[in-house]
Amino acid sequence: MNHGSIKESLIKKWSRDLVVALMYLHRMDIAHRDIKCDNILLTAKYNVKLADFGFARYTRDHQGSPLFASTDCGSLNYTAPEVLLGIPYNPKIADIWSLGVVIFIMLNGSFPFVAKDVTSLYREQIARDFKFTQTANKNASSHLLNVIRMLLEPVYHERMTLEDILHSEWIGVPKGLTGLTSLEEAAQSRIHTSMKRS
């Protein structure tokens, strides 16, 4: 945020990388639970890496049944409204909200919601009380603005999925493709194989 907004071509590239990373985690039944700008690293070649898995947890038990989370963790301004309610929530869907906050920050250079306390923050989120800057409204594509709106959807079951983002008009990966490069697919395959053996 110290450097203001980022040009859309970079936002798209980094968002795609983050979506692919989160899709991989979620397919492994792991939720990150602390998606925020501070936990996204930039390599020398301008690729992004997701870091700090201190709050990560499995989302299925040994029988394959879904495990909901109930703890409020992560950073407040990135926290999904269902987490603020203090009731059991799907941590994968909460990760997607936090991703929406990150993408908003890349475009706007500021948080979508800033409040002094949890109650005020929750009210802002439910009211969808966020605004794009004049520059963002003028320069960003309508596809990007729509993706952000659908990620910052307070009704969790209406929130955009990771697959929706990847195949949206904004990122534009054709349906049926994973969005992974051949190297990423090979790495995923190796990890899956080694996990099956252990």
Q: Which of 34, 61, 95, 129 is catalytic?
A: 34
- Distances in Å between the Cα of 11 and the Cα atoms of 30, 64, 74, 96, 161 are 25, 35, 23, 16, 18
Closest to 10 measured CA to CA, from 46, 44, 40, 36: 46
Give DSSP secondary structure letters for 7-51. Answer: -HHHHHHHHHHHHHHHHHHHHTTEE-----GGGEEE-TTS-EEE-
* Active site (annotated) includes residue 34: yes
- Which residues are catalytically annotated? 34
